[in-house]
Amino acid sequence: MFTRPTPTRTLALAASLAGITLLAGCSAAATPDASASTTPVADVTIVSGQSAQNGDLLRGIFDRYNASASTAKVTLNLTADSDVDTAQKALVDIAAGHGPDAVRVTNATYQTLIDAGVAQPADACLAAESGLNKDLISGITVNKHVYQVPWYVTPNALFYNAKLFTQAGLDPNTPPTTLAEFHAAAKAIAATGAAGGTAYFGNDFNFQSYLASLGSQVYAPASKKLTVNTPAAASVFDTFAAMAKDGSSPVYTNFFADANEAFASGKLGMIVTSASGYPALKANGNADIRIAPVPAADGGKAVATTSTNGFVITTKDPSRQKAVCTALRSLLTPEAVTETVTKTATIPLLTSTITDPKQLAPVYAANPGWAAVRDQKTVPWISLPGTANAEYSKLYTDTQLKVLRGDQDGKAAAKDLQTQTEQILAAR
């Protein structure tokens, strides 16, 4: 799941990025530090926010690494900050000359660190990892380079409460596969009076999934073309506005706090969100939660959006780069990948673990819904360049709420979002 940044945090990230981009000379990859030390590296500092999202898992992997490592140990600075806040603070620290050696990112902040010139290419670090899922690696390749060591790749998925399905006369073994079916199921659940039907799509992580389902997208990185103002975007906005209007979808001001809480407590029948939230939701004691592939937009094909949680190497010192690379590769052993997927319901970075009876084969046998989510057709979550993405994210959220509250229809919302985002891009 992804924590929605507040407007203040979003604008602060944009300001931090603007400042550090000037310091970095707007380069895509900073040059190695000429004054780098050749003395042995005792430890490396890795910063990770989102402690509630698998922080204990991450600490456990690095603790085991530290116990066996003969090279530099990992000092993990783990906080509850969102990925946006984590990137903001890292940029400020780097500008001040005391930044971390690596920082955790998602697709929402990955491009930000690249555009700021602080992300170091990780191609050499990953060269020996021949078993990595090539499709997933292509999703984090920017200008023919990979700038992060991935940890896990999370697609969005349909979460639903089987108990509420049964109460509404729905078959929990046949979850909705289209938005029309999704809407119908939401109305049926809401009609019982036991819970709300579903919730809208939060940030544009889910929005991009529905656009991809209709053959569209928000932004094309290769051509740098913005394509928000499309019939696809208007229809998706209108679909969720209709759910809000007929009462099958409550409108939450803070999707990630309120909607997730409502679903976890059994007060909401369905939600589309990051698959990595599954174990945490199950841990709340709701045994009726199941996951399935994302419903396709009406007239489209089923497509999930993926976000890669990984670590960008930010140190320019070659000795420290080598040390942090060794530490980060501990996340990519078959054992670490198996543990990560088992605890996150995400997509395995090592394809060999899927059918291995000593790795993930029994996990998938026990959780067939996970396998269906794993095998969805996917597209990477696209972010806009640099400061534009932080500003666009806030603008998107504001636009979405206008539509859900009936203040604007889908066509007008798509047009305004395009116009205002173009202004953001032009001001960069």
Provide the pLDDT for residue 33.
52
Provide the pLDDT for residue 34.
46
> What would the two tokens of residue 182 be?
């999704």
Query: What does the alpha-carbon distance between residue 253 and residue 309 come to, in Å, rounded to a whole number?
Result: 26
Query: Is residue 345 within 8 Å of 279, Cβ to Cβ?
Result: yes
Query: What does the alpha-carbon distance between residue 112 and residue 81 come to, in Å, rounded to a whole number?
Result: 17
Provide the pLDDT for residue 3.
44
pLDDT digit string (tens) for the chain, length 428 residues: 444 444 445 445 554 444 544 344 333 444 445 445 557 899 999 999 988 888 999 999 999 999 998 889 999 999 999 888 899 899 999 999 999 999 999 988 898 899 999 999 999 999 988 899 988 898 899 989 999 999 999 999 999 999 999 999 999 999 999 999 999 999 999 999 999 999 877 789 999 999 999 999 999 988 989 999 999 999 999 999 999 999 999 998 877 778 888 998 899 999 999 998 887 787 776 768 999 999 999 999 999 999 999 999 999 999 999 999 999 999 999 999 999 999 999 999 999 999 999 999 999 999 999 999 999 999 999 989 877 888 998 899 999 999 999 999 999 999 999 999 999 999 87
Query: Is residue 395 within 8 Å of 417, Cβ to Cβ?
Result: yes
CA angle 360–302–134, rounded 5-degree value: 45
Would strands 145-146 and 141-142 be described as parallel, antiparallel, or unpaired? antiparallel
Provide the pLDDT for residue 13.
52
Provide the pLDDT for residue 21.
45
Query: What does the alpha-carbon distance between residue 366 and residue 371 come to, in Å, rounded to a whole number?
Result: 10
